[in-house]
């Protein structure tokens, strides 16, 4: 089929994901209509009319491959990411972090896309999608009318408007000698790890928790938060025993050292099949990250806890991707509609752009009548996509981290990470050589 015969791709949202996706399609000769509602319709956090505006920090995190975000960036460079190319060009000094001059960064991306003959930039809010090819990349602040359309596509119960994420801890950093494996009332296979507390440990933890520093609530978030579930520190503030009758209830557990029910218990649930990460059950929180590290390490067994992701509660529109999308980020209910960016349940500037890139590569194959080629699980990008499309009892957004990669058995943490990183990059190079012909 000649390129000119391929259908036009419509992309809703010119943020990090939509811009990357549009660029990758256009550079392969595919016509794109890119819809961005700003500056005509603004969101609560964007300030300009530029595409790919960074709404908060100007940092795209670390470039070191000892860091999971650095590995993801390296993989994206292999795939010629626009976002990273422009970030490198507009970089400002910030050690190993890739920080950018936000104005130059967004302006440059806007100019590149505006001047691409295959891209038609349309400044308009998308409210519905037709039966053409669509990529929805409207981000955490998707407009209300499009959210209604998405709800019809996914089912209302599969579209969420805020994150209430509990921290996730690397299994290797949990003191397995201190925690007790088992479910309440010894039912089932013993999926949980239980951190048992006596009264003294509980009281100390409670006192530190109620006095810990939280992230301030932004004005546009006040109505949304606390609607469905309360942060752990808010539960704690209602009274000393409140947590013991809530997420820290000890019922159904027996402390093997005393033969009695413990005073309180924190439960950890495996976050992935390989059990490399554990989720702190019921610990959604607005504590600052440093405070989470300090206070949650007071829990017996978590003294050296290393966090794969910290808890957050903030405004965020995202879909239940494990239920709604296939592994290529295509809607199961409407295969002409694809999703990219934060709305798929990835979190972060780079992660959002990465899914935009991934969707573009998959779309090209589909438009040419081929099946897309899944990315190897060993790559950070492949693992991130696998994570957000794999059934999960409490699906919550995820950023790049080493815990999502298939594990290797090397004891030393830094050697292990280095091995995981080099393996990921090697697999991405091979994948590109084998499958990415243009
Ligand atoms: C307040 C806040 C702060 C954040 N801070 C950080 C941070 O510091 N670091 C970090 O890594 N991540 C941060 N994130 C998370 C995330 O990385 C960013 O939101 C990122 O921009 C997501 O990329 P995206 O492409 O999915 O969405 P966006 O970059 O938000 O792009 C979506 C675009 O779609 C447009 N749009 C929305 N609805 C429609 C519609 N119906 N029709 C047409 N256009 C539409 C929007 O105007 C926007 O330009 C933050 C998120 C929020 C909400």
* One domain for residues 179 and 305: yes
* One domain for residues 142 and 285: no
Ligand 1: residue whose CA is nearest its atom 15: 348
Is the CB of residue 19 below 6 angstroms from any atom belonging to ligand 1? no
| Residue 299: CATH number of its domain | 2.40.30
CA distance 141 to 218: 14
Strand partners, 99: 59, 92
User: How many folded domains does the chain comprise?
Assistant: 2
Nearest-CA neighbor of 22 among 35, 6, 38, 5?
A: 35
CA distance 149 to 142: 11
3-state helix, strand, coil in the chain (%, to 5): 35, 20, 45
* One domain for residues 209 and 354: no
The pick from 51, 55, 84 for probing ligand 1's pocket by mutation, whose C-beta has the most ligand atoms within 8 angstroms, reads: 55
* One domain for residues 333 and 305: no
* One domain for residues 292 and 248: yes
| Owning domain of residue 257 | 168-310
The pick from 23, 46, 56 for probing ligand 1's pocket by mutation, whose C-beta has the most ligand atoms within 8 angstroms, reads: 56
Nearest-CA neighbor of 13 among 125, 128, 137?
A: 137
Is the CB of residue 84 below 6 angstroms from any atom belonging to ligand 1? no
Among 310, 341, 358, which residue terminates a domain? Answer: 310
Among 289, 310, 331, which residue terminates a domain? Answer: 310
* One domain for residues 331 and 240: no
CA 76 to centroid of chain Cα atoms: 16
- The 3-state secondary structure of 346-411 reads ECCHHHHHHHHHHHHHHHHHHHCCCCCCCCCCCCHHHHHHHHHHCCCCCCCCECCCHHHCCCCCCC
Tokens of 209: 């928790």
* One domain for residues 11 and 158: yes
Among 285, 310, 335, which residue terminates a domain? Answer: 310
CA 218 to centroid of chain Cα atoms: 21
Exposed/middle/buried for residue 377 (C-beta within 10 Å: 0-12, 13-18, 19+): middle
* One domain for residues 84 and 155: yes
The CA 103 to ligand 1 mean position distance, Å, reads: 16
Is the CB of residue 344 below 6 angstroms from any atom belonging to ligand 1? no
Please give the chain's pLDDT, 438 residues, in tens.
555 578 999 999 999 999 999 999 999 999 999 999 999 999 989 999 999 999 989 999 999 999 999 999 999 999 999 999 999 999 998 888 899 999 999 999 999 999 999 999 999 999 999 999 999 999 999 999 999 999 999 988 888 888 888 999 999 999 999 999 998 888 777 789 999 999 999 999 999 999 999 998 777 776 655 555 789 999 999 999 999 999 999 999 999 999 999 999 999 999 888 899 999 999 999 999 999 999 999 999 999 999 999 998 888 899 999 999 999 999 999 999 999 999 999 999 999 999 999 999 999 999 999 888 899 999 999 999 999 999 988 888 999 999 999 999 998 989 999 999 999 999 999 999 998 876
What's this model's pTM, rounded to 2 decimal places? Answer: 0.90
Q: Which residue has the tokens 């259908």?
A: 7
* One domain for residues 207 and 148: no
The CA 262 to ligand 1 mean position distance, Å, reads: 44
For 14, phi then psi, to 5°, come to -105, 50
Tokens of 288: 């600052």
* One domain for residues 155 and 209: no
* One domain for residues 302 and 392: no
CA distance 283 to 302: 14
Cβ–Cβ < 8 Å for 305, 175: no
* One domain for residues 359 and 272: no
């Amino acid at each position: 089929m000649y390129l000119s015969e391929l259908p036009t791709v419509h992309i809703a949202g010119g943020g990090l994901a939509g811009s990357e996706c549009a660029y990758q399609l256009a550079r392969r000769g595919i016509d794109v209509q890119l819809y961005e509602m700003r500056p005509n319709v603004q969101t609560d956090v964007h300030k300009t009319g530029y595409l790919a505006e960074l709404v908060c920090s100007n940092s795209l995190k670390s470039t070191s491959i000892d860091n999971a975000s650095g590995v993801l960036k390296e993989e994206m460079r292999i795939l010629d990411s626009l976002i990273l190319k422009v970030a490198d060009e507009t970089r400002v000094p910030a050690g190993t972090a890739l920080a950018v001059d936000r104005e130059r960064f967004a302006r440059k991306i806007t100019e590149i896309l505006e001047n691409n003959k295959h891209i038609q930039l349309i400044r308009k809010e998308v409210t519905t999608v037709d039966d053409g090819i669509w990529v929805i990349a409207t981000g955490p602040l998707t407009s209300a009318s499009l959210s209604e359309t998405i709800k019809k596509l996914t089912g209302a119960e599969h579209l969420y408007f805020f994150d209430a994420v509990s921290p996730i801890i690397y299994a290797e950093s949990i003191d397995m000698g201190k925690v007790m494996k088992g479910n309440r009332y010894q039912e089932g296979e013993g999926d949980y790890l239980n951190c048992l507390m006596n009264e003294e440990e509980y009281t100390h933890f409670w006192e530190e928790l109620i006095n810990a520093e939280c992230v301030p609530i932004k004005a546009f978030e006040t109505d949304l938060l606390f609607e469905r579930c309360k942060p752990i520190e808010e539960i704690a503030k209602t009274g000393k025993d409140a947590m013991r009758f809530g997420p820290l209830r000890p019922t159904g557990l027996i402390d093997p050292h005393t033969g009695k029910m413990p005073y309180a218990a924190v439960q950890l649930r495996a976050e992935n099949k390989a059990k490399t990460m554990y989720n702190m059950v019921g610990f959604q929180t607005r504590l600052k990250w440093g405070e989470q590290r300090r206070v949650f390490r007071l829990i017996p067994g978590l003294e050296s806890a290393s966090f794969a992701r910290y808890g957050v509660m903030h405004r965020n529109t995202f879909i239940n991707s494990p239920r709604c999308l296939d592994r290529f980020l295509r809607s199961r209910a409407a295969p002409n509609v694809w999703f990219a960016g934060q709305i798929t349940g990835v979190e972060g500037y780079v992660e959002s752009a990465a899914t935009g890139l991934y969707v573009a590569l998959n779309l090209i194959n589909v438009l040419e009548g081929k099946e897309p080629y899944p990315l190897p699980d060993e790559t950070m990008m492949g693992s991130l996509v696998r994570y957000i499309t794999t059934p999960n009892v409490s699906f919550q957004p995820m950023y790049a981290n080493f815990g999502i990669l298939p594990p290797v058995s090397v004891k030393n943490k830094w050697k292990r990470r280095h091995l995981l990183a080099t393996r990921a990059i090697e697999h991405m190079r091979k994948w590109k050589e084998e499958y990415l012909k243009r």
